[in-house]
Amino acid sequence: MKKLLPNLIAALFLVICGTSLKAQTIDSVVTLLPKWKKGDVHTLKIKVNTTDEVKGASKKFASNFTAIFKITDVTDDEYITEWTYTEATVAPTDPLADNHIIAALKNTDIKMAFSKRGTFKYIINMDDVKTKTLASLNKLKAVYTGNQAMSVQLDLAKTMLSSDRGTEIVLKQVRIYFIGYGGSYVKGQVVKNNAYMPNGFGDRPFNATETVQITNFDDNLKLCTIESSKTVDGKAIRDAIVTYFKKISTPADYAAIDKEIGMASLDFSEKTRQQYQIKEGIINRSSFTRAMKLGIENRTTVWEFDVIN
């Protein structure tokens, strides 16, 4: 049986849950709401750094993007926007398929609608975006024919693209950057929530435990920092992975699956840190860390966003 662990990590890192940070709203001191105006244009520098650890040996990968975010219209109910990648530098060996997919969409205007609370609603030109994404997937499949971990991600991306989860691939970085909008937070209080994390092996996301808090509040500069962390119970991850691979394997492989995965010590976690300009209603700096630890095979990826104007 082909080695499974690299494929498990690959699939779990491909998707990003669409759920936002949550917090109680009673007596809240900060509510993250956009104050966008028609004609606003912001430039974002995005860094994606991945570290893979296999049997004690470490490999690092770095990709860089520049995105332009425009507010093209404001209605009573929505913000109409455009998100365009103008620069993309991705190493051929980068193990994250979404970085390669996003790079292939360079100079494509992704037109989106957001609620007045800053939460994503839908892609306006979805048919055009899907067509271009599918073309890039087919090209990437040909390039990475011999790379099993990349092929797993590309196949999953293609399946998702034909479903109602299709936007998750194209909007992974968008969803990460805007994840904090719409939430309310209490200064000096740690809030615990029932949350979700992506599950590349089933129809439903993993249940997770989330903590959220304001870690820095500057009254003079009108800045605050919101931090959160999420963790999934290791047994839930094991059960989902074992079930998935037994579905796509023959009974002859069951014992190997149980041995390689069923007894593994698994850890799946996320951390988010966002700096919010209260007066302007802008998240000007953000980082998102996802870590998957499977014992001998581990991966940590950090997405960093800086608004430069």
Residue from 167, 149, 117 nearest 12 by CA:
149
3-class DSSP assignment, residue 48? strand
CA distances in angstroms from 18 to 66, 98, 196, listed in the order given: 22, 16, 9
Extract the residue ranges of the chain whose pLDDT is less than 70: 1-29, 164, 200, 295-296
Q: Annotate 65-81 with DSSP letters as a single string.
A: EEEEEEEEEE-SSEEEE
List of residues 6+ apart from 91 with CB closer than 8 A:
61, 62, 63
List of residues 6+ apart from 194 with CB closer than 8 A:
207, 208, 209, 210
User: pTM, whole model, 2 decimals?
Assistant: 0.85
CA 97, 98, 99, 104 dihedral sign is: positive
Q: What is the pLDDT of residues 86-95, one digit of tens each?
A: 999 998 999 9
Question: How many Å apart are CA 36 and CA 27, to the nearest integer?
Answer: 25
Q: Which two tokens stand for residue 9?
A: 């990590």
Q: Which two tokens stand for residue 38?
A: 């028609």
Q: What is the pLDDT of residues 173-198, one digit of tens each?
A: 999 999 889 888 888 889 898 888 87
Residue at 57: amino acid letter:
A
Q: What is the pLDDT of residues 234-245, one digit of tens each?
A: 888 888 878 877
Question: How many Å apart are CA 8 and CA 151, to the nearest integer?
Answer: 12
Name the β-bridge partners of 218: 223
Domain boundaries, the chain: 1-32+183-299, 37-179
Q: What is the pLDDT of residue 177?
A: 94
Q: What is the pLDDT of residue 11?
A: 60
